[in-house]
């Protein structure tokens, strides 16, 4: 070993404060040289690491773990050799002999080993070559000084704290008397100024380990990792020297609010490699992928019509999600929450965390969808509507809403009927339902139509108001002779006015119609209509000409009633 004596300490290498020994003048140079020899022998006998550092030594494999190999290297403490030191496909087993080099100690006191050879400089020439070639050398940390550490690399060198790789003062203290691998980043032989860097070597080792790990890990493989850090969106897992992201969505088949609810730093877990992005140096892993997919058994466990019980996990504007079991959720749409009223927001009916009963409306395992109904648990109010509200029956209820085409009347909770604007009045034309009705008003109406499949019930108000046609139909029967005025001729059909607001239809035979088309369509004087219809409807048998003229608009003729339809409020005639 080469010792260089300084005449004055360099400012680049602050030294521990040591008392200056008083040396009697009688001591000779021979005694000084003897002291150096004694010191050299002491270092050789008490520093086995230094004696073996650059040369390497043989170790015997004791155990092989998932990430390291433990070796007996002849010291009181075993050495640890990372598996990343072995080539892909290379195997090792207890009892094998390996040539290793000691490069330092870990925080637990075990020797850190490497299979590569690391030289220890023996003179200035070796230091200069190591500096020029930027090679890694071995040194021993001797003391903590202001701003960093003193390192023995054959001469005393200085290592700045920022280049030590230690995160705090406590870690720097642990490096004292430890052998480390470092690189010379400054060398000035004239000033005996040597600066070394341990951090750069450690970062290169880390990159090498990551490169090797990236080449070893395959998509679809199951690996063991340690949770290193938690975030709101997932967890970073160390899978042997590289970090992989375990996204919160891949932690469990059931919904996970925060990764911290399931995982903890330092926890060891098995994960599956989902994706490797070599360009971005990213690995995605999943935990739930090692468990059975819950949706695989859904078709056997859940059928349409089943009643289920679950907890509401999320409420959104259009519905609520209900957890049936871990990993299985169904959706209650707002339209399936109430028979009685139209729900605009789901949170008006249900809240997160509530336990509800629902009916399964549909199951699509392929799309991971289950449709649920909340209102169906209360029974369908439309089930017996045809019996309760038969066509022709009279109802009474409040107006619950008005649209431009009609008004909706509540018959039962969950059952509404619509009065179309055209069925509101027989006496006048209604332009808008608001001209006759308002919300909350109680109205009476007649049931005109029931469509159970479409859940529609049509109502009419004007049908309950007596009209002249109803009185006319009540006073007449098929076969009666009546008098009326032809108001329109349309092909084979005539529209006949029997009285004010009272009209009927008359079908004309084709032969008669041809004759009518040859006649003039001049209109008669309409002012004479009232005098011609003076006779009461019941007794108006009005004599007709022996040879009737062809029918034309304005003509007053005698007709025979052929059909009276009370429900449809229709009268059909024929020429007499």
| 270 touches 222 (CB < 8 A) | yes
Quick one: pLDDT at residue 88?
66
Tokens at 511, concatenated: 């032969």
Locate tokens 């010379």: which residue? 184
Q: Sign of the C-alpha dihedral, residues 330, 334, 335, 340?
A: positive
Cβ–Cβ under 8 Å, residues 243 and 236: yes
Q: Where are the domains of the chain?
A: 29-201, 217-290, 294-378, 385-464, 468-575
Q: What angle do CA 177, 179, 182 make, to 5 degrees?
A: 125
Q: Spelled out in words, what is the top-level CATH class assigned to the domain 385-464?
A: mainly beta
User: pLDDT tens per residue, the chain (576 residues)?
Assistant: 344 434 333 333 444 434 444 434 444 444 444 544 544 454 444 444 443 444 568 899 999 887 789 999 888 888 888 877 777 677 888 999 988 887 777 777 788 888 766 667 767 888 888 899 888 888 889 999 999 999 998 888 999 999 998 889 998 998 888 888 899 999 987 777 899 999 998 888 788 777 777 777 888 889 999 999 999 999 999 987 788 999 999 998 888 888 998 899 999 999 999 998 877 888 999 999 988 888 888 888 899 989 999 999 999 988 999 999 888 999 999 888 887 677 788 888 889 999 999 999 999 988 889 999 998 887 778 888 888 888 888 999 999 999 999 999 988 877 889 999 988 887 678 888 888 899 999 999 999 999 988 888 999 988 887 667 777 888 889 999 988 889 888 888 899 988 776 889 998 876 555 554 444 444 444 444 444 444 444 444 444 444 567 788 888 888 999 999 888 888 999 988
Cα distance between residue 163 and residue 140, in whole Å: 15
Q: Output the CA angle 207-204-149, nearest 5 degrees.
A: 135
Structure token digits, residue 413: 């909770």
Q: What gap in Å lies between CA 406 and CA 422, rounded to an integer?
A: 8
How do strand 328-333 and strand 319-325 relate by DSSP bridges? Answer: antiparallel
Question: If DSSP codes are grouped into helix, strand and coil, which group holds residue 290?
Answer: helix
d(CA 189, CA 170): 32
End-to-end Cα, the chain, rounded Å: 144
pLDDT computed for residue 269 by the predictor: 92
Count of other CB atoms within 10 angstroms of residue 258: 13
Residues 6+ apart with CB under 8 A from 444: 394, 395, 396, 461, 464
Determine the CATH number of domain 217-290. Answer: 2.40.50.140
Domain spanning 29-201, CATH architecture: Beta Barrel (2.40)
Tell me how far apart the alpha carbons of residues 153 and 165 are, in angstroms, rounded to a whole number.
Answer: 18
**Adjacent-strand bridge partners of 299:** none
Best CA proximity match to 147, nearest among 17, 14, 16: 14
Q: What is the pLDDT of residue 372?
A: 94
Positive or negative CA dihedral for 124, 126, 132, 135? Answer: negative
Closest to 461 in 3D by CA, of 424, 409, 426, 422 = 424
Per CATH, the number for 294-378 is 2.40.50.140
Distance CA 330, CA 312 (A): 9
Cα within 13 Å of Cα(418), Cβ side: 13
Phi/psi at 110 (5° precision)? -75, 145
Let me know if the fold of 294-378 is the same as that of 468-575. Answer: yes
Q: State the architecture of 468-575 in CATH terms.
A: Beta Barrel (2.40)
Q: What is the dihedral of CA 126, 129, 131, 132, to 10 degrees?
A: 170
Predicted model pTM: 0.45
Strand, coil or helix: 152: strand
CA dihedral 336, 342, 345, 351 (to 10 degrees): -60
Q: If you search the block for the tokens 């052998």, which residue do you land on?
A: 179
CA distance 461 to 441: 13
- Check: CB of residue 239 under 8 Å from CB of residue 219: no
Q: What is the pLDDT of residue 114?
A: 81
Q: How far apart are CA 499 and CA 529, in angstroms?
A: 10
pLDDT confidence of residue 141: 92
Please give the pLDDT value at position 535.
42
Residues in the chain: 576
CA 90 to chain centre: 44
Q: What is the DSSP string of 558-575?
A: EEEEEEEETTTTEEEEEE
DSSP symbol at 551: P
Residue 247 is predicted with a pLDDT of: 94
Q: What is the pLDDT of residue 14?
A: 44
β-partners of residue 503 are 497
């Amino acid at each position: 070993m080469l010792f260089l004596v300084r005449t004055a300490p360099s400012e680049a290498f602050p030294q521990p404060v040591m008392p200056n020994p008083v040396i009697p003048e009688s001591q000779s140079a021979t005694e000084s040289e003897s002291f150096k020899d004694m010191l050299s022998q002491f270092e050789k006998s008490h520093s086995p690491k230094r004696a073996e550092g650059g040369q390497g030594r043989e170790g015997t494999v004791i155990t092989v773990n998932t990430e390291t190999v433990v070796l007996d290297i002849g010291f009181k403490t075993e050495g640890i050799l990372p598996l990343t030191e072995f080539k892909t496909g290379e195997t090792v087993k207890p009892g094998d002999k390996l040539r290793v080099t000691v490069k330092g100690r870990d925080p637990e006191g075990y020797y850190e080993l490497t299979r590569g050879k690391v030289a220890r400089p023996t003179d200035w020439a070796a230091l200069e070559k190591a500096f020029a070639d930027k090679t890694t050398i071995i040194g021993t940390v001797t003391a903590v000084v202001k701003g960093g550490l003193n390192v023995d690399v054959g001469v005393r060198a200085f290592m700045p704290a920022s280049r030590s790789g230690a995160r705090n003062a406590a870690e720097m203290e642990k490096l004292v008397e430890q052998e480390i691998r470092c690189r010379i980043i400054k060398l000035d032989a004239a000033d005996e100024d040597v600066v070394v860097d341990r951090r750069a070597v450690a970062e290169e080792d880390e990159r090498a380990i990551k490169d090797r790990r990236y080449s070893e890990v395959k998509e679809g493989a199951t690996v063991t990792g340690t949770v290193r850090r938690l975030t709101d969106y997932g967890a970073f897992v160390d899978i042997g020297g590289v970090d992989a992201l375990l996204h919160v969505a891949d932690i469990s088949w059931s919904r996970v609010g925060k990764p911290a609810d399931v995982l903890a730093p330092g926890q060891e877990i098995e994960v599956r490699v989902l994706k490797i992005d070599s360009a971005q140096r990213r690995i995605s892993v999943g935990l739930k992928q090692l468990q059975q997919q819950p949706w695989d058994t859904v078709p056997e466990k859940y059928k349409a019509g089943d009643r289920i019980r679950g907890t509401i996990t999320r409420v959104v504007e259009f519905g609520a999600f209900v957890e049936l079991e871990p990993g299985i959720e169904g959706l209650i749409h707002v339209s399936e929450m109430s028979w009685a009223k139209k729900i605009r927001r789901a949170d008006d009916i249900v809240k997160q965390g509530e336990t509800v009963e629902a009916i399964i409306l549909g199951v699509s395992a392929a799309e991971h969808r289950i449709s649920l109904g909340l209102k169906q648990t209360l029974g369908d109010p439309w089930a017996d509507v045809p019996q309760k509200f038969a066509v022709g029956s009279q109802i009474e209820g409040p107006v619950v809403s008005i649209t431009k085409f009609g008004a909706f009347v509540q018959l039962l909770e969950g059952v509404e009927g619509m009065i179309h604007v055209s069925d509101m009045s027989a006496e006048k034309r209604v332009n808008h339902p608001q001209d006759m009705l308002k919300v909350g008003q109680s109205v009476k109406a007649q049931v005109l139509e029931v469509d159970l499949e479409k859940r529609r019930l049509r109502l009419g108000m004007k049908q309950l108001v007596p009209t002249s046609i109803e009185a006319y139909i009540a006073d007449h029967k098929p076969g009666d002779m009546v008098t009326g005025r032809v108001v329109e001729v349309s092909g084979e059909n005539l529209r006949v006015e029997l009285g004010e607001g009272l009209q009927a239809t008359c079908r004309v035979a084709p032969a008669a119609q041809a004759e009518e088309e040859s006649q003039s369509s001049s209109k008669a004087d309409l002012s004479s209509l009232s005098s011609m219809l003076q006779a009461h409807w019941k007794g108006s048998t009005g004599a007709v000409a022996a040879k009737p003229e062809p029918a034309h608009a304005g003509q007053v003729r005698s007709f025979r009633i052929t059909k009276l339809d009370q429900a449809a409020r229709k009268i059909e005639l024929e020429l007499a």
